[in-house]
Structure 1
């Protein structure tokens, strides 16, 4: 592989014109790239904040797109599945273009190979931040007993609640929000992208988000229940409602990511009918010439 098999652009339309069909060919493995680029297309290139525009990369060989990446600064590089040779060419390409790479997210095989190449090309050190598992909904199942209460789509009156819970969610997983929290809440409310489970008295108890449908897929995210309300079945109940609504709306694939260190969530989603697709890893880089 040659590094010049890769090219970089800040033009989203150009990127999607070249790589859109490739991304849609595996909507499960490319779910993040599909949903983020759709959000950027609909909301503008600064939808995720940051002082720099997003960057996009495409690998073409023999007239065919074989890989892609994107990065919304200041966040990590997100890469489609690649072979070891392709990741090495990617590392050389990124060094040549001078774009900083503070970290990477991708399938386990891809990140493992890229980390080795990035360290060799730049001298950077790496730290494994998180192991994730991608799940796809099979046959939806409702766990019993179903808790008291009901689900409803969040609206304008819930804006402050969503902002508070999304902030708590990002803090609980040790991350910063990938976009301004207020903007996230407004966007989700606009398309009905968060459902609340509320008690009989109308008190919100849990929330489940879902991304807009792109290429026949949606992704469940985020799911959050305040610590003092966990273990009562609220998260499972609201996730079932959102999953069922996605299927009824025509989603061919309903996906979600879990933290592999969180056994509770992994067991829960399998009980709901979600089945593993692939393992992903998140790495951070420090030092060297490429961060």
Structure 2
């Protein structure tokens, strides 16, 4: 039983394909990151089965896919060959805790998340005022500004410019806006590219002045329906467990819990 590592997404896909395809929901972070990750890793059992995967992106921040606690503990002394010592780690709670404790380094939890998967999409009742529409090129400046607000709100270090980031999503038809009755955009939601039949809703954001009117619910329902209409088998999203409002919102739309996730930062 051993960990192996590569910087080749093609090599990783070839070795870990069965494990990734067996549970794309639990492997969603690795599936999303594998084409841009600096390092990719897989845990192989004695019989040759892959039962754990990870992707390192950005540098020093491993994201775990589905893996056993045994695999997580075994990873600790490896220090991800070819990569810097991790400063953070993210993944399912049990695996992250097993890894963090095995390193012997001091660490602190930074975020507790819950992964949800859409069951039967349930439109909001009553529906919020206004309508959904796909974002267009003219919306790029507004959406880029909102994306920066979103990054700050969730505690991320915001980028200087999100123009390219949002242009990609708008050009590919993956970002929806909710318009108030007067035509003003008041909320947004996006969905990732589809990989292994799964796609993840993200960038759900309503400016503070527009909150409390159900606009985020409308935007999320619209982008979720668009994903289903496009043939996505599993529509996923993450919520912050510290935000009961968003957790309740997604449940009302038909999202159901899959696993809890934890992010930790090493403090020494």
Q: TM-score normalised to the size of structure 2?
A: 0.94
Q: Which residue of 1 aligns with 2:264?
A: 283
Hey, what's the Cα distance between the residues in 2 that align with 1:111 and 1:18?
A: 23
Hey, what's the Cα distance between the residues in 1 that align with 2:60 and 2:231?
A: 32
For residue 142 of structure 1, report the CA deviation from its aligned partner.
Answer: 1.5
Does structure 1 residue 197 correspond to structure 2 residue 186? no
Change (3 A) 1:75 1:182: farther
SS at match of 1:34: helix
For residue 194 of structure 1, report the CA deviation from its aligned partner.
Answer: 0.8
Structure 1 runs (4+) greater than 6 angstroms displaced: none
Hey, what's the Cα distance between the residues in 2 that align with 1:54 and 1:96?
A: 11
Does structure 1 residue 182 correspond to structure 2 residue 166? no
SS at match of 2:222: helix
Among 7, 18, 30, the residue aligned to 1:10:
7
Deviations 1:170-205 (A, max 9, x none): 100101358962221121122111100012222110
Q: Which residue of 1 aligns with 2:26?
A: 29
Hey, what's the Cα distance between the residues in 2 that align with 1:272 and 1:243?
A: 9
Unaligned runs of 5+ in 1: 46-52
For residue 58 of structure 1, report the CA deviation from its aligned partner.
Answer: 1.4
Q: Which residue of 2 aligns with 1:69?
A: 54
User: What is the root-mean-square deviation of aligned Cα atoms in Å?
Assistant: 1.8
Q: Which residue of 2 aligns with 1:60?
A: 44
Q: Which residue of 1 aligns with 2:89?
A: 104
Hey, what's the Cα distance between the residues in 2 that align with 1:56 and 1:29?
A: 16
Q: Which residue of 2 aligns with 1:249?
A: 230
Does structure 1 residue 266 correspond to structure 2 residue 247? yes
- Residues 30 and 63, structure 2, Cα contact 8 Å, conserved in 1: yes
Mean Cα deviation higher: 190-199 or 87-96: 87-96
Does structure 1 residue 113 correspond to structure 2 residue 98? yes
Does structure 1 residue 239 correspond to structure 2 residue 223? no
Hey, what's the Cα distance between the residues in 2 that align with 1:100 and 1:78?
A: 14
Q: Which residue of 1 aligns with 2:108?
A: 127
Q: TM-score normalised to the size of structure 1?
A: 0.87
Change (3 A) 1:208 1:96: closer
- Residues 33 and 55, structure 2, Cα contact 8 Å, conserved in 1: no
Change (3 A) 1:84 1:164: same
SS at match of 1:282: strand
Hey, what's the Cα distance between the residues in 1 that align with 2:120 and 2:161?
A: 35
Hey, what's the Cα distance between the residues in 2 that align with 1:185 and 1:203?
A: 19
